[in-house]
Structure formats: structure tokens, C-alpha cells
């Protein structure tokens, strides 16, 4: 356990009683089995060993926390991650005993009546998505001023973690993973939904279990992109919302060229571009345009061709390299037009190779669950201050938000101001103009 202040037995048990984790009868039964010691830490360790408390709960009780352990019908077991949208906890339904993931939204996303109506609308749409390759949403509710989403708990890594831990994946396995993701995208597209933030950390791997002979890829966070809309004054309660002009949605390493210009001028082909960037990452271990600032990444997505996966990894079959190249076409009309078309193209190359995963040793969280509010902007890193303009978990961190694995740092929200957004547009237009001018000059010289 993490180092905590010394607490005696009586104080620890008093904290436990106030927490609501055990009722009086359960506490009486548990107390009979405790060791004869006055040290609260030894008492806590005994309760953890007996499975009565989790380490997460015990650490907070030892630290003097007596609230934040229960949310509605759910008992909080552990903290899985945190990001710009809020915190994610592993929890259990008190009656049904079902393990779930709770995403508790940061207050700023539901601080107005219209924002709450938008949350309810998006969650109703999300409830209609029932597919093996999508994370299932069970419930969306409110307790006091806390709005939360109850989701399927996926005990396995996300693809960012998998690649960073293992390196580039076997070609057949990467093809199978993308094929499954395409099936999920096709279902969502048929239901009229576009994800807008496909990336490795939003693709989770449900590992084989008693009832599953092979892993299943599941897409996370459908329907949450619109909640980044802060100014809901232009939303009429029925149609789509308009994103604030000083905000770009997406993750720069995986965002499509058209989405960088206009969030709403996108369809499923934008998700396919992002899936192509993810495919490139699975095969090579690097994003299509590594290095550089956020502005440079956005420009390169619109104006440059990435290094081919065949150049970076010569053993990749020509057919697979061609699939990646087509997914990364600048013009949506030149990409696969539907996820089903992509899935069919990958069928000959896909191989089901089992994935074994031992999660990293968890690092105890340092913040109080459900109590400490998230800041609107968190500290930035020295690597790229705009690693994720708007994203639940950016690519330089990417904790699995609905899995048993855990990383320590918080993700970040960075919004361009209006001048920065204008710079992006001007830079892209200027770059395209320069390329077009050079081509025109070359043509004139050839004619001369």
C-alpha cells in the first residue's frame, strides 16, 4: 500500500463506518475476524486480504476519507483513469453484483440546463448501440450534481498500451484488430453515428475468458465527442450542436484533414482515416506524422504523405500496405467508402492470434475519488503542449479508461484560442497554395 499517515484501529473503523461501504451488521461480523492490533494499517491490510475492502478503498480510509465510495446503486472499487472529461472508476452494482465502469463527468460539461439536456440526448443515442465491437452503455444517471455514465467493464489493455508494451503487432493480428473495429464502425454508421475520436487508446481488447475463446476489440466513447461543446446556446434541443469556434475536436496524431477544418463536415470516412492512422501505429509502432507541434501535425495531415508502412516494415504484404495507403487518402472520396468495405479487404490477411496481457503494476491514485474537481485545463507536458486538443485520453498517456489497467498521470484538455485556429487555417491554405503554385510552375516550364 502507499504510504499514509499513522491511523489507529478505532479511527480506521470509525472511518469505515462513516464511509457506507459496510452496514453495521457487516462491520460487526468483519470486526470479529480482525487481528488483535491497534495499528489501523494492519487492520486495513487484513480486510483487504479477506476481500472485504479493495486497496483503493483501504488507502483512502487510512488517509481519513469517509465519502466518495458510493454513487447511487454503485460501490466504488478502484480508480481506472482520469482525463479532461472526468474520472473513470471500477464499481459494482450493490444489488446485481455486476462489475461496471463508471465515467463521472467533470462538472463543467453539465453545468447548464442545456448541457444536461445534451448529455441526456447523447446517452439515449448511445443506449441504442448494441454490438460486440462496441463498449456497451448500461445506464446514465445523476446523483446530486454528479452526472455519470455506466458502461461495460473491459478487463484488458487498450491498443496504445499493447503496442507500447509489445512493439509493432504481428501483421495478421493487426489486420484482425482493425477488421473487428471496422465492424463496430459499420454498425454505428448504420445507426447514424460518427465517432470523431478513433485512436489506439479508444480501442480496447476484451481478453479471452470462460465464455470467450478469443479476444474481442471494442470501441470506446461513442457519443461523447459532442459533450465537448461548451456553448450550447445554439442548440435547439433536437438537432446537432455547433462546436465553439475556438475549439478543435480530435487527437492531432489521428484526426482527419476534413475534421481539422470543420467537426460537423465529416462522415464515417473521417473515422476510417483515423482508423488508418491507428492501423499504421499497430504495424509500425509510430504514428503517421511523428514529432512536431500540433499545428505542424494538422498541416501535415492535409498536405503530406506519410512514410509507407512497407518502408518502415518491409515484411508487411503489399496488399496490407495498400489498405493503409487508401485509408490515409487526403480526399475522403479516395478512401474506403464504408467500414464494411474495409473489413472485407482485410479478411484475407486477418489472423486470430491470441493476446496475453499482464497489466502493469498499478500506481495508487493521489486524488480523492468523486470529490476533487478536475481543472478545466491540467498541467501540460514538455513533449507537446497540445497532445490532445479535445480527447478523453491523449496519445502520450492513453490509460485504458474502462479496463483493469491503470496509469498515474492525468490527461489534458487544450483548446486553441480563436487566433490559433485562424493560424491553422491560414497555414493550411498557404501550404496548399505553395504546392499548387509549384505544380503550375512546373507545368509552364515543361510547356515552354
Q: Could you list the active site residues?
A: 197
User: What is the CA angle 423-227-293, rounded to 5?
Assistant: 30
Of 370, 307, 389, nearest to 70 (Cα)?
370
b/e per residue, 102-114, with b = 16+ CB within 10 A? bbbbbebbbeeeb
DSSP character string of 78-118: EEEEEETTEEEEEEEETTT--EEEEEEEPGGGS-SHHHHHH
pLDDT at residue 3 in the model = 54
pLDDT at residue 271 in the model = 94
pLDDT at residue 415 in the model = 36
pTM for the model stands at 0.74
pLDDT at residue 319 in the model = 96
pLDDT at residue 276 in the model = 97
pLDDT at residue 305 in the model = 93
Stretches where the chain sits below pLDDT 50 are 1, 228-247, 361-418, 420, 441-448
Angle between helices 339-346 and 268-284 (to 10 degrees): 30
DSSP character string of 158-184: BHHHHHHHH-SPPHHHHHHHHHHHHHH
Residues 6 or more apart in contact with residue 233 via CB below 8 angstroms:
114
- Cα 104 to the center of its chain, rounded Å: 14
Share of the chain above pLDDT 70, in %: 70
pLDDT at residue 365 in the model = 43
Rounded CA-CA distance 225/27 in Å is: 43
Q: Are 79 and 89 in contact (CB under 8 A)?
A: yes
pLDDT tens-digit readout, 100-130: 999 888 777 777 777 777 777 777 778 888 9
pLDDT at residue 187 in the model = 94
pLDDT tens-digit readout, 172-190: 999 999 999 999 999 999 9
DSSP character string of 116-129: HHHHHHHHHHHHT-
For residue 381, what are the CA distances in angstroms to 362, 386, 388, 397, 403? 22, 9, 11, 11, 25
pLDDT at residue 87 in the model = 85
Rounded CA-CA distance 304/289 in Å is: 9
pLDDT at residue 225 in the model = 56
pLDDT at residue 331 in the model = 94
> What's the order of all strands across the beta sheet hosting 86-93?
70-71, 74-83, 86-93, 99-105, 146-152, 137-143
Amino acid at each position: 500500500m502507499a504510504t499514509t499517515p499513522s491511523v489507529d484501529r478505532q479511527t480506521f473503523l470509525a472511518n469505515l463506518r462513516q464511509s457506507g461501504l459496510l452496514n453495521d451488521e457487516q462491520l460487526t461480523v468483519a470486526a470479529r475476524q480482525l487481528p488483535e492490533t491497534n495499528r489501523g494499517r494492519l487492520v486495513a491490510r487484513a480486510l483487504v486480504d479477506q476481500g472485504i475492502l479493495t486497496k483503493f478503498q483501504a488507502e483512502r480510509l487510512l488517509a481519513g476519507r469517509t465519502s466518495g465510495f458510493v454513487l447511487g446503486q454503485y460501490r466504488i472499487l478502484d480508480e481506472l483513469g482520469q482525463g479532461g472529461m472526468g474520472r473513470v472508476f471500477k464499481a459494482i452494482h450493490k444489488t446485481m453484483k455486476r462489475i461496471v465502469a463508471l465515467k463521472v463527468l467533470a462538472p463543467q460539461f453539465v453545468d447548464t440546463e442545456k448541457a444536461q439536456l445534451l448529455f441526456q440526448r447523447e446517452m439515449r443515442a448511445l443506449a441504442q448501440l448494441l454490438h460486440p465491437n462496441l463498449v456497451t452503455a448500461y445506464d446514465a444517471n445523476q446523483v446530486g450534481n454528479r452526472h455519470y455514465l455506466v458502461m461495460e467493464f473491459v478487463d484488458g489493455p487498450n491498443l496504445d498500451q499493447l503496442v507500447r508494451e509489445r512493439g509493432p503487432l504481428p501483421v495478421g493480428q493487426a489486420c484482425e484488430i482493425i477488421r473487428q473495429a471496422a465492424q463496430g464502425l459499420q454498425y454505428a454508421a448504420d445507426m447514424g453515428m460518427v465517432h470523431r475520436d478513433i485512436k489506439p487508446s479508444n480501442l480496447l481488447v476484451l481478453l479471452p475468458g470462460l465464455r470467450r475463446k478469443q479476444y474481442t476489440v471494442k470501441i470506446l466513447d461513442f457519443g461523447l465527442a459532442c459533450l465537448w461543446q461548451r456553448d450550447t446556446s445554439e442548440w435547439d434541443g433536437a438537432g446537432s450542436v455547433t462546436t465553439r469556434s475556438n475549439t478543435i475536436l480530435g487527437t492531432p496524431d489521428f484526426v482527419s484533414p476534413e475534421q481539422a477544418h470543420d467537426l460537423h463536415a465529416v462522415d464515417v470516412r473521417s473515422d476510417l482515416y483515423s482508423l488508418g492512422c491507428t492501423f499504421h501505429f499497430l504495424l509500425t509502432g509510430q504514428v503517421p506524422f511523428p514529432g512536431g507541434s500540433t499545428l505542424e501535425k494538422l498541416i501535415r495531415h492535409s498536405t503530406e504523405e506519410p512514410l509507407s508502412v512497407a518502408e518502415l516494415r518491409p515484411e508487411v504484404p503489399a496488399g496490407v500496405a495498400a489498405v493503409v495507403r487508401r485509408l490515409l487518402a487526403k480526399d475522403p472520396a479516395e478512401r474506403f467508402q464504408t467500414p464494411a468495405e474495409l473489413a472485407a479487404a482485410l479478411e484475407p490477411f486477418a489472423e486470430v492470434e491470441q493476446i496475453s496481457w499482464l497489466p502493469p503494476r498499478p500506481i495508487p491514485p493521489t486524488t480523492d475519488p468523486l470529490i476533487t474537481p478536475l481543472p478545466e485545463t491540467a498541467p501540460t507536458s514538455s513533449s507537446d503542449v497540445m497532445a490532445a486538443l479535445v480527447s478523453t485520453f491523449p496519445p502520450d498517456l492513453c490509460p485504458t479508461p474502462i479496463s483493469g489497467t491503470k496509469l498515474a498521470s492525468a490527461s489534458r484538455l487544450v483548446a486553441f484560442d480563436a487566433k490559433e485556429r485562424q493560424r491553422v487555417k491560414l497555414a493550411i491554405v498557404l501550404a496548399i497554395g505553395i504546392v499548387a503554385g509549384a505544380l503550375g510552375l512546373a507545368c509552364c516550364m515543361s510547356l515552354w
